[in-house]
Amino acid sequence: MSLTQTFAALSDPNRQKILDLLKKQEMPVSEIAAYLNITLPTLSHHLDTLKRAGLVSGRREGQKILYSLNLSVFEEVSEKIIKFLKK
């Protein structure tokens, strides 16, 4: 995981909203879409960007994919930032 890729993924307001929603609980695309004023293809693109950055993961439950935060990546990024600031 690169910090550049992580920060690029975090830079978009819609992706920030998605992460904020997933902080509360895991959700399928249909629930995430209900909170955002974007098309499903755009939402899919944002989720793909977040997945590639390792910030979210998806698990299949029947025909749905439930998305959730990958907290270990947030912890890793936090540690890198703290280490950088201590130098």
CATH code where residue 16 lies = 1.10.10.10
Residues 10, 12, 13, CA angle at the centre, nearest 5°?
110
Using 50, 70 and 90 to split pLDDT, how confident is the model at 43? very high
CB-CB contact of 58 with 27 (8 Å): no
Expressed as residue numbers, the domain containing 8 is: 3-86
Spatial distance between the Cα atoms of 74 and 56, rounded to a whole number of angstroms: 10
Tally of structural domains, the chain: 1
Q: What is the pLDDT of residue 14?
A: 96
Residue scoring higher pLDDT (86 or 25): 25
Is 42 in a helix, a strand, or coil?
Answer: helix
pLDDT tens-digit series, residues 45-63 = 999 999 999 999 999 999 9
| Backbone phi, psi, residue 7, to 5° | -65, -35
Total-model pTM: 0.86
β-strands 27-28, 56-61 pairing: unpaired
As given in the structure block, the two tokens for residue 25 are 């609980």
Using 50, 70 and 90 to split pLDDT, how confident is the model at 1? low
Q: What is the pLDDT of residue 73?
A: 84
